Amino acid sequence: MLGGVAQGLADHLGVPVLWVRLAFVVSTLFQLAGVLAYVAFWVFVPLGSAAESPGLASATRRGLRRGSDEDAGPQSNRSTLQTAALVVLGVGVVWIVVGSDTVSTLVFPAVLAIAGFALIWRQADDRSLERWVRVTSGWQAALRIAAGTLLVLIAYAVFVAQLGGGLQSAAQLLAALVVAVAGALLLLGPWVVRLVSDLAAERRERVRSQERADVAAHLHDSVLQTLALLQKNAHDPATVATLARRQERELRDWLYGDRTPDDATLRSGLAADAAEIETTYRVPIEVVGVGDTDPDPDVDALRAAAREAMTNAAKHSGADRIDVYVEVAGAAAEVFVRDRGVGFDPEQVPEDRLGIRRSLVERMKRHRGTVDVRSAPGEGTEVRLVLPLVREPSSDGGRDTAPQGAEGGDA
Amino acid sequence: MSTPTNAASPRDLAVVLVDDHAMFRTGVRAELGSTVRIVAEAGDVDEAIRAVEAYRPDVVLLDVHLPGGGGAEVLRRVATRYPDTKFLALSVSDAAEDVIGVIRAGARGYVTKNITGDELVDAIRRVAGGDAVFSPRLAGFVLDAFAGTIEVAQVDSDLDRLTEREREVMRLIARGYAYKEVAKALFISVKTVETHVSSVLRKLQLSSRHELTRWASDRRLI
């Protein structure tokens, strides 16, 4: 709860925050490494920023849904206590390790100095220049800076007094100068670093908002185009429905989607294929997925087979919608393509469709996959494609498998 | 969805319509026509709460995105006080965090706004009868949220993982099967399917399973 460093690291590494805090405390035993690491992380690691899809971010801003910040209540209280306890523990550990009498003369001023630095550094740890100005303009802030500086000076004076007992020799004067400069750097350093990173963040934000404006303009164009087309085709319900659905899909992808490139994964590829077939044959195709996998020749074959199955269903079934379900779990990837159309008797398949089925089966077989077609006249058809995944499914566990979820950003 | 099993005629069902877009409310009202009784409309969280308190409706059609904190906020403030009122979430957003979020807050089902009028009436009836309404997409989210439940050996409370049967039901729903078709495929009754679905819903609302919690916190649900 000091700088949120432990929390950030814990999020990044995916371990409980308590472990990270304990790690800091334990490593403090070795030459105060924990403290130094904490400070280093604090200064150099950028603050985590949440990247939400534009639709969700906007809904959060307008209070249409609850954002992330509000729910931290009781949890963070406990967390503060935890931090305080660990800090006390850390100080105790240092105390014991360093010993009470011999070096306490050095430890005490060191602690004072660290406290001073901490007070000043705290000021620099802010998101923006604005906040810096606001925080520093009050008398409280002035008091804090003064206190910090005073502490550092006292510590320095005590330190020097302990070492030499005076400033007579020129060498000592030089050393004092070096120490003073180093102190000044320490004082101003974090602020400068923070300022620079703030500038970078601002630049990034500007680029991002320009990007958004471009996309918004593009969307406006496409929405206007669609509306014009809708008016022209008002007499043809099928066209109207297709146009509206395509527009809806585009908007939905932009507002709530994770905007994965079409060929990046099995699921995004299938979704792209489905969208294309939907536009061509004017049958809505609903793609639902669980888990995902990166493309490779085998997965591409699965995708191609699924595409063929979707095309068949769209072309021949006469169903008013097609459901596609993709599941990548453990050792296999499965795709189900289901329609509630006319169906057929698998025993009496017309020659041309048999050909299509054979090519589907052959293709999957070449990649160790299987095809299973279930159908009966009047009951629709379901094609099940199974592809065993031979490689380590390790990418499954860490992979984010939410279909449309916005990515939680942690830096 | 398949034909409903409970006997209550939808005409007797009192429904409150909550959406911040008046145009959409008008559209739903026209589409539902006289199939249900729409007793009140509301455009934000406070209005919705007042309407629920005043009318004690059977079903609330609840928009996920709503001024004043969203549909989840409405659920948080009234769902436990009026156990007889059922909530059906209605949204244009397909984002997993919104869908699961509103379900975890207490909604009995989730449908997208492009649902047809007949399907919506059926969903309302189902929710009013105490059942859960799972679309293929919601089933997909649920399977995703409970992912990792395959390792049966893991010792865990029953609450925190789906049984093999529940997983099968979820997978069939995700594949586009209606309850009736699920029942046929698994050689069980529709009532049993409904029981499984309701129990999945309950687990989703109460579960504290590590994976689910982490999945949710990754999406900043909790």
pLDDT, residue A71, reads 41
Whether residues B122 and B188 share a domain: the answer is: no
| Gap between the Cα atoms of A239 and A284, Å rounded | 12
8 A C-beta contact, residue A349 and residue A366: no
Please give the residue that has the higher pLDDT: either B59 or A247: B59
Q: Provide the domain limits for residue B46.
A: 10-131
Q: Are B108 and B127 in contact (CB under 8 A)?
A: yes
Domain end, chosen from B101, B116, B131, is at B131
Q: CA–CA separation, A286 vs A337, rounded Å?
A: 10
Torsion-angle region of A254 (φ positive above 0: left; ψ -120 to 50: alpha; else: beta): alpha
A300, with CB counted inside 10 A (0-12, 13-18, 19+), is middle
Comparing B76 with A11, the larger pLDDT belongs to B76
Whether the predicted pLDDT of A61 surpasses 80: no
**Same domain, residue pair B62 and B20:** yes
> What band does A198 get if pLDDT is binned at 50, 70 and 90?
confident
Q: Which of A72-76, A310-314, A373-377, B49-53 has the lowest mean pLDDT?
A: A72-76
Average pLDDT for chain A: 70
Strands of A332-339's sheet, edge to edge?
A: A285-290, A322-329, A332-339, A381-388, A370-375
User: Percent of chain A scored above 90 by pLDDT?
Assistant: 3
Backbone angles phi, psi at A186, to 5 degrees: -60, -40
Q: Is A373 helix (H, G, I), strand (E, B) or coil?
A: strand
Q: Name the residue in chain B with its Cα closest to that of A287.
A: B137
Q: What is the mean pLDDT of residues A74-87?
A: 54
Question: Which amino acid makes up residue B208?
Answer: S
**pLDDT tens sequence across A163-195:** 555 555 556 656 666 777 777 777 677 777 778
| Cα–chain center distance at B57 | 16
Identify whether residues B209 and B192 lie together within a single domain.
yes
Total domains present in chain B: 2
| Residue A284 in contact with partner chain B when CB distance is under 8 A | no
The pLDDT assigned to A119 comes to 59
Q: Could you tell me if residue B202 is inside a domain?
A: yes
- Is residue B32 one of the residues assigned to a domain? yes
**Cβ-based contacts under 8 A for chains A and B:** 114
Q: Which distant-in-sequence residues (6+ apart) come within 8 Å of A343 by Cβ?
A: A317, A375, A376, A377, A378, A379, A380, A381
pLDDT at A335: 93
In a domain, B5, yes or no: no
Q: Are residues B34 and B121 in the same domain?
A: yes
| pLDDT at residue A18 tops 80 | no
pLDDT greater at residue A225 or residue A132: A225
B14 and B66 in a single domain? The answer is yes
Same structural domain for residues B89 and B58? yes
- Chosen domain end from B103, B131, B159: B131
Q: Give A197's contacts (C-beta < 8 A, 6+ positions apart).
A: A46
Contact B175/A405, CB-based, under 8 Å?
no
Same domain assignment for residues B105 and B186: no
CB A1 within 8 Å of CB A400: no
Q: Is B65 on the interface with A (CB under 8 A)?
A: yes
Q: Are residues B56 and B148 in the same domain?
A: no
Q: Cβ of B70: how many Cβ atoms within 10 Å?
A: 27
The answer to whether position B161 is within a domain reads: yes
Complex ipTM tops 0.90: no
Residue B55 belongs to some domain of the structure: yes
A291 vs B contacts (CB less than 8 Å): 144, 147
A324, A313 contact by CB (below 8 A): no
Please give the share of chain A, as a percent, with pLDDT higher than 70.
Answer: 49
Name every chain B residue with its beta carbon within 8 A of the beta carbon of A401. Answer: 144, 147
Q: Where do the domains of chain A lie, and which CATH numbers do they carry?
A: 5-207 (no CATH), 265-398 (3.30.565.10)
When scoring B2, B92, B93, B211 by the number of chain A Cβ atoms within 10 A, the one with the most, hence best to mutate, is: B93
Question: Where does residue B154 fall: left (phi above 0), alpha (psi -120 to 50 degrees), or beta otherwise?
Answer: beta
Average pLDDT over residues A206-232: 77
Instruction: With respect to residue B4, please indicate whether it lies within any of the assigned structural domains.
Output: no
- Chain A residues whose CB is inside 8 A of the B110 CB are none
Whether the Cβ atoms of residue B92 and residue B113 lie closer than 8 Å to each other = yes
Position B151 in a domain: yes
The model's confidence at residue B8, banded by pLDDT at 50, 70 and 90, is low
- A323 against A399, higher pLDDT: A323
Q: Please indicate, yes or no, whether residues B177 and B213 belong to a single structural domain of this protein.
A: yes
B116, B131, B146 - which closes a domain: B131
For the beta carbon of residue B192, count every other beta carbon within 10 angstroms: 16
Do residues B141 and B99 lie in contact, with contact meaning Cβ atoms separated by under 8 Å? yes
Q: What is the pLDDT of residue A206?
A: 82
Instruction: Indicate whether B1 belongs to any domain.
Output: no
- Residue B1, pLDDT score: 44
Identify the helix (H) or strand (E) that includes residue A361: helix A351-366
Best B104, B135, B144 member to test A by mutation, with max A CBs in 10 Å, is B144
Tell me, yes or no, whether B38 and B103 share the same domain: yes
Using 50, 70 and 90 to split pLDDT, how confident is the model at A386? very high
* Partners of residue A71 in chain B, C-beta under 8 Å: 220, 222
CATH number at B194 reads 1.10.10.10
Which of the pair, A241 or A256, is modelled with greater confidence? A241
Say yes or no: B127 and B160 in one domain: no
Where residue B113 sits, what CATH number does that domain have? 3.40.50.2300
Q: Which residue of A has its CA nearest to B71?
A: A65
Residue-wise pLDDT for B143-200, tens only, equals 887 775 444 444 445 556 788 899 899 999 999 888 888 999 999 999 999 999 988 8
Does residue B58 share a domain with residue B34?
yes
Confidence of residue A126 (pLDDT cuts 50, 70, 90): very low
